[in-house]
Amino acid sequence: RIERIAFFDASGREIPSVAVGAPLTIELDYSGAAPHRNVVVALGFDTLLGQRVTKLDTQLAGTELEEIPPAGTIRCSIPAVPFNAGRYHVTVFVSVGGTIADWVRRAVSLDVVASDFFGSGRSLGTQDGIVVVPHAWEVDRDGTVSRP
């Protein structure tokens, strides 16, 4: 059973919000009666209108939680939050041995605040999409741009 969900910055400080592109660690404190085997943890991020933005999943990431202690903390790290500014609801799902152990829709909300993600002195508006994608532009003026 998930007891607590909290967000932390790169320094390990608990935070109420995160900037676009900043690193984020999500901690899930859990408890139970005995060691848990074959655990799967998933976090779904949804917009305020209920659109699923992404799912973070131990199985998808190749993290096998074959056995974990009866109580502890599970951490998920995101190197750079790819969501545009806004509020996102987080659904938590946990199965143990193939049986649903916990499933809480909108268990917590994550506020993402605008930042100078691109280093251009500008930020995306909320009308500009849900995700932020690193990218670069160039002009081929003389045919010398190499292609992959």
- pLDDT for 122-131, tens place per residue? 999 989 999 9
Residues 98, 103, 107: CA angle, nearest 5 degrees: 150
pLDDT at residue 137, as a whole number? 87
Quote the pTM value.
0.90
pLDDT band at 143 (very low <50, low <70, confident <90, very high): low
Q: Which residues pair with 126 in a beta bridge?
A: none
Q: Are the CB atoms for 46 and 93 separated by under 8 Å? A: no
115-130 core/surface letters (b: 16 or more CB in 10 A; e: else): bebeeeeebbeeeeeb
The pLDDT, as a whole number, for residue 33 is 86
The rounded Cα 47 to chain-centroid distance in angstroms is 13
Is residue 88 within 8 Å of residue 35, measured between CB atoms?
no
In this predicted model, what pLDDT tens digit does every residue of 64-123 receive, in sequence order? 999 999 999 999 999 999 999 999 999 999 999 999 999 999 999 999 999 999 999 999
Q: Under 8 Å CB-to-CB from 70, ≥6 apart: which residues? A: 31, 32, 33, 34, 35, 36
Q: What is the pLDDT of residue 109?
A: 98
Tens-digit pLDDT profile for residues 21-57: 999 999 999 998 889 999 999 999 999 999 999 999 9
